Amino acid sequence: MLQCGNMAQPQVPVLFCFSAFCRAATVPAGAGHELLIQRFLALYGGMIGVHRKFVIQLHSAEWGEYIDLPKEFVVSDRCKLRLVSLQVPMTSLGNLIASSTVFFCCDMQEKFRPAIKYFGDIISVGQRLIQGAHILGIPVIVTEQYPKGLGSTVAEIDLTIAKLVIPKTKFSMVVPEVEAALHEMPGVQSVVLFGVETHVCIQQTALDLIGRGLEVHIVADATSSRSMMDRMFALERLARTGIIITTSEAVLLQLVGDKDHPNFKEVQSLIKASAPESGLLSKV
């Protein structure tokens, strides 16, 4: 395992480089690939734009060149890192295909009902998405944030359709059980993400997923927060990072793709009534 020095330091200085830019920052000693990707995205997310897959490289004094960083690498002394973004061809950006897509339903729990803005609308649209996933044979992964204190998923959401229902305390949905499920689905390229709260669990999940090279579609009309300000600023921030902000109807019709699709009429029946605008139109 490559390391750079003494693991005793609580914070380690790192020079983060992307394109022609370099910024000095610190990371906790022992920081690995996931945290480094998150730090690069925090520093350069607006510049990375459409990129989806990344390689981190370490400047090697021995070779006088950058070398690819193995995923087991941990930072333990000052070093210089470079992010190389591998651009996805423009023709494939945002193209949802049922066979390579998974739906993530985040923390749609009973105790959030009185607190989340437009929660009734979000539940309605979330269930519409889950029904659509079931019709199209798309796996659904559901998490529940500390269900002992915050209750189970609301009764309106049909959990019998879900591939996995996982309790968590981490804000991000990317917990070991979810990672294991993704590893069992090696063809997955896109995640359709919805639930609560937009600026916390949704945002952290989305950043974790794009850090793993997955394309993320956040369904704006199935995602909310306690505060509309937090909701809208999170969606704006995530869009700048290259995450696709979309709507439930757009997702379902993109997955069908053709009126001659064998499941078109079933999906059409789901969207016959337009989804509630859940406060989004007043903010456009």
Query: Catalytic residue numbers?
Result: 107, 168, 201
CA distances from 100 to 72, 96, 130, 181, 215 (A): 27, 8, 16, 14, 11
The pair of three-digit structure tokens given for residue 159, joined into one six-digit string: 């959990």
The pair of three-digit structure tokens given for residue 156, joined into one six-digit string: 């309106």
CA distances from 205 to 54, 163, 164, 208 (A): 17, 18, 16, 5
Q: Residues of 98-129 as b/e, b for ≥16 C-beta within 10 angstroms?
A: beebbbbbbbbbebbeeebbbbebbbbbbbbb
Provide the 10 A C-beta neighbour count for residue 67: 12
The pair of three-digit structure tokens given for residue 131, joined into one six-digit string: 């029904």
Provide the 10 A C-beta neighbour count for residue 40: 23
* CA neighbours closer than 13 Å in the CB half-sphere of residue 129: 36
Tokens 């070093």 correspond to 79
Provide the 10 A C-beta neighbour count for residue 265: 11
